[in-house]
Structure 1
Amino acid sequence: MSFRNLAAAFALTCVAVPALAQTPAPATTAHSASDMGLKMADTATVKLKFVTVKPADITSSKLIGTNVYNNNKETVGEIEDLVIENGKTVTGVIVSVGGFLGLGERYVVLDPSTISVSNKDNKWAAYVDTDKDTLNKAPTFDYSKKK
C-alpha cells in the first residue's frame, strides 16, 4: 500500500470520529485536540492507540478511483486524492474532471461535505449536486501524482 493511500486511510479514520469507537483512555488522562491526528516528527510522540472500524466506515482505498456523478447520473469526474489539514481533518477531495482517457483532464478540490457516497451492489459511487460546465469552470488545482 502506498504512503498516500495509507495516509489517506488514516485521515479518513480520524475524520469519522463520531463513527469510530476508540479504546477508552484511563479516566485520569485528558486528551486535548492537539493530541489527535497525524504529527510531523522524526520519532513517535504519542502512545499507540487502536480504533475499531465499523462496517459503515469508508477507507480511502474505496474512495480513490471512485467515479463522481451528478444528480442526472452523468459521470463528471473521478476521486483522485484527499487533502488532509494538519494531519487531522479531510478538508478537500481532489477530483479529476474533463478530458478523455486521461488526456486533458484537470483537477478541482471539492469540499467533502458536498459529496454523497453510495455503495450499491459492492460498487462505490460519489454524487455531487452540479453539472459538468460548473466543474469545468471551477478553479484548477495544480496536482501531480508523482511523489
Structure 2
Amino acid sequence: MKTLIAAAALSSLVAGSAFAAEPATGTMANGAMANGGITMADHATATIHYVTVSPADIMSSKLVGQDVYNNQGDKIGNVADLVIDNGKTITGIVLSVGGFLGMGEHYVLIEPSSMVLSDKNGLHGVVDTSKDSLKNAPAFNYKKS
C-alpha cells in the first residue's frame, strides 16, 4: 500500500500538482504572461499564492540522493536531480549510474513514469532495467553547478 502511495506521489509531481494548487499568473520580465510555473526574472511581479500539500505529494528533497534499484534488487544508481519543464512540471529524472566511489559514473535521463517508488526497507526508486542496459543508454550531459 505504501508503494502505491509513493507511486501516486511521483505521478502527482509529474502532473505538477505538487507545485501549485491554483495557477498563479503575472507578467514576466519580457512582457509575456506567466502560467503558474517558476520563471526567470530579477523581480517578482506575480501575486503570491499559498498552496497545501496533499498526503500523496512528495518533496523533491526526499527523492534527490535516493538509491535506485532494478526489479532484481541490484542497486543501479541514485537520483541525482529532477528536470522541471517550464518551471512547473517534472519531465525527467537524472540518474547517476555506474562507477564506484564517484569514478566512472555517468548520467542518464529517464521519464518519471519509468520509475516507481518503494518504501520497503526505506524509500528508494525501482526501474525495470539492467545494469548492462544502463551502460548502453544515451548519456545525459549533466553538469552540476
TM-score (norm 1): 0.76
RMSD of aligned Cα (Å): 2.7
- Residues 59-99 of structure 1, C-alpha deviation per residue, up to 9 Å, x if partnerless? 11110110111111111110000111111211110001110
Q: CA deviation at 1:35?
A: 2.0
Q: Is the 8 A contact 2:15 2:90 kept in 1?
A: yes
- Residues 25-56 of structure 1, C-alpha deviation per residue, up to 9 Å, x if partnerless? 9xxx9xxx952111111111211011111232
What percent identity do the matched residue pairs reach? Answer: 50
Residues 1-147 of structure 1: matches in 2 within 5 Å?
Answer: 15-17=15-17, 22=21, 34-120=34-120, 123-145=122-144, 147=145
Q: Which amino acid aligns with 2:131?
A: K
The 1:86/1:94 distance shift into structure 2, 3 A limit, reads same
TM-score (norm 2): 0.76
Take 1:46 and 1:82, find their aligned partners in 2: how far apart are those partners? 24
Unaligned residue ranges in structure 1 (runs of 5+): 1-11
Q: CA deviation at 1:130?
A: 0.7
Q: Which amino acid aligns with 2:125?
A: A
For the residue of structure 2 that corresponds to 1:134, the secondary structure is helix
Q: Is the 8 A contact 2:19 2:88 kept in 1?
A: no
Q: Is the 8 A contact 1:83 1:91 kept in 2?
A: yes
Equivalent residues, number: 127
Unaligned residue ranges in structure 2 (runs of 5+): 1-11, 26-32
For the residue of structure 1 that corresponds to 2:108, the secondary structure is strand
Take 1:60 and 1:113, find their aligned partners in 2: how far apart are those partners? 16
Take 1:131 and 1:70, find their aligned partners in 2: how far apart are those partners? 7
Q: CA deviation at 1:21?
A: 8.0
Q: Is the 8 A contact 2:80 2:96 kept in 1?
A: yes
Tell me which residue corresponds to 2:6. Answer: none
